[in-house]
Amino acid sequence: MKESEFIAADNLTLHTLDGKPSPNIKDAKLVSIKRGDKIPEIFIPVFLRRNRDYIANLEMKDGIPALSKDQEKKYNVKFEKAPIKTFKKVVDESYGKYTEESLTQIIANKGSKGFKDWAEKEFGEDKIDRRKSSEKIKIKILNWQDEGKI
């Protein structure tokens, strides 16, 4: 087995089957690696993805492995830093077209009767019950939006 440039952080007992890492021990070949010895290349991709603490000399940068381009190509792995979303951006993405504040503003500008007229025009006469208060209609609109019906 070809050895990699990475060193084992602890004593490892691993198995290979047909030249690949194997989680099963049946019909698999035992591979023992002592602490401080070089790890065979076939185990490195799995360790980089799932068991980074098995590698003693793995450099990390911002919580992700800092590999060279050659290492990424050699082990067929690529790590990128996740884009940072600001709280405002996350909040803006979670809202739909209408917010409680925007509907309250429409009620304040148009009055209760004007809001009901606007709601009938916007959502259809069959969906808006004019007998309900403008606050109840506002809540119904927000619920439809949350359910994805508008």
Residue pLDDT, tens place only, 102-125: 899 999 999 999 999 999 998 888
What is the C-alpha separation between 77 and 46, in angstroms, rounded? 10
Question: If you average pLDDT over residues 123-150, what whole number do you get?
Answer: 86
Specify the pLDDT at position 131. Answer: 92
- Answer with the residue of higher pLDDT: 80 or 111: 111
In the predicted structure, residue 92 carries a pLDDT above the cut 70: no
**94: its two tokens:** 């979670």
What is the C-alpha separation between 3 and 26, in angstroms, rounded? 24
**98: its two tokens:** 């209408």
Residues 6+ away with beta carbon under 8 Å from 20: 42
- On whether the CB atoms of residues 48 and 75 are closer than 8 A, the answer is yes
Question: If you average pLDDT over residues 54-83, what whole number do you get?
Answer: 89
In the predicted structure, residue 20 carries a pLDDT above the cut 80: yes
In the predicted structure, residue 136 carries a pLDDT above the cut 90: yes
Confidence of residue 88 (pLDDT cuts 50, 70, 90): low
Q: What's the sign of the alpha-carbon dihedral 119, 121, 126, 132?
A: positive
Residue 150 Cα distances to 22, 63, 106, 127, 129, angstroms: 50, 40, 18, 12, 17
Angle at 83 between CA 82 and CA 88, to 5 degrees: 135
Specify the pLDDT at position 63. Answer: 84
Residues 6+ away with beta carbon under 8 Å from 133: 112
Confidence of residue 13 (pLDDT cuts 50, 70, 90): very high
Question: If you average pLDDT over residues 76-96, what whole number do you get?
Answer: 69
Confidence of residue 89 (pLDDT cuts 50, 70, 90): low
Confidence of residue 24 (pLDDT cuts 50, 70, 90): confident
In the predicted structure, residue 132 carries a pLDDT above the cut 80: yes
